[in-house]
Amino acid sequence: MKELIQFKRQRELGDVLSDTFKFLRLEYKPLFKALLQNAAVPFVILIAFSAYYTSVATDFTNILEGSFNASGVFISLIGLVIALFFYYGVLYGTILNYIKLYIENEGIVDQTLLKQQVRADLGKLTGLSFLSGLMLIIGFMMCILPGVYISVPLSLSFAVIVFKNKSVIDAIGYSFSLVKGEWWMTFATILVIGLLLYVANVVFSLPLIIYSLVKAFSSTEQLSPANLSGVFDWVYISLNVATTAIQYILAGIFAIAIALIYFNLNEKINQTGTFETIDSIGSDI
């Protein structure tokens, strides 16, 4: 019999962490298949823009020659941001809708139906990515604390769109009501998960860091734009792109954790899982 994760229940911080990685361990094969079918193209587009932006932004030879390609940097940055919003919309849409079908069908996920639901939610999730980014920029510009505060409900808004089928604005409003009275615990949970992912990203970044240090210290010439171009060569760009790709993939772990946090808060308010359990027991009698 297939072991199932019960999403609709209350969890402490440790339970959220353990169940996040347990779900990943149990479902990594079909989940990876779902991501490959839905997010592969946005992922490749994002990596392409990331590589192009890195190559343009680190071309110090043009600075030395007095012909810095400012327009190229700006265009590549805009393209990178748009690709990033689109990728996160697909990534969260795939993982959260996968969990939604997983719950509804007791662990069975129809990949065809999943693809349809991802496409149906893509516009809202991509719009939420853009709006969340804009709100966070404004929030952090206002003495940082407002940005920290709104980052917690905004993180949950993706789950609200998928599990409650709400609009972008309604999802943001509902997320604020979810964290009311539970902000600190939710913030602590998100912070711990974020720190774990940060450590993982640092570990995967070590080859890039080591290569950059070796290239920088191996040069005996005076530091100049020309020498900097030697540091940021094709090996550096390749390692940077590979590191960035891993970071974007690891972001999927955060989406799983967000689903567990959402159901924990929703259960405390609505007790949906408790009522469903009672109903199922009553129907079996």
Distance CA 201, CA 54 (A): 18
Distance CA 284, CA 169 (A): 40
Q: What's the pLDDT tens digit per position in 149-178? A: 999 999 999 999 999 999 999 999 999 999
Amino acid symbol at 208: L
Radius of gyration of the chain measured on its C-alpha atoms? 22
CA pseudo-torsion sign 273, 164, 261, 265: negative
Paired tokens of 100? 């939604």
Output the average pLDDT for the chain: 87
Q: What's the pLDDT tens digit per position in 172-214? A: 999 999 999 899 999 999 999 999 999 999 999 999 999 888 8
pLDDT at 215 over 90: no
Of these ranges, 141-145, 220-224, 256-260, the one predicted with the greatest mean pLDDT is 256-260
pLDDT at 133 over 60: yes
Distance CA 154, CA 148 (A): 10
pLDDT at res. 118: 96
Distance CA 156, CA 176 (A): 9
pLDDT at res. 1: 66
pLDDT at res. 49: 92
pLDDT at 256 over 70: yes
pLDDT at res. 213: 83
Q: What is the dihedral of CA 247, 248, 250, 255, to 10 degrees?
A: 140
Helix (H) or strand (E) holding 82: helix 70-104
Paired tokens of 28? 């990594």
Q: Is 250 exposed, middle or buried (0-12, 13-18, 19+ CB in 10 A)?
A: middle
Three-state SS at 69:
coil
pLDDT at res. 197: 95
Report the predicted TM-score, pTM, of the whole model to 2 decimal places.
0.89
Nearest CA to 14 out of 151, 237, 193, 177 is that of 193
Give me the DSSP letters along 164-227: H---HHHHHHHHHHHSTTTHHHHHHHHHHHHHHHHHHHHHHHHHHHHHHHHHHHH--SPP-HHH
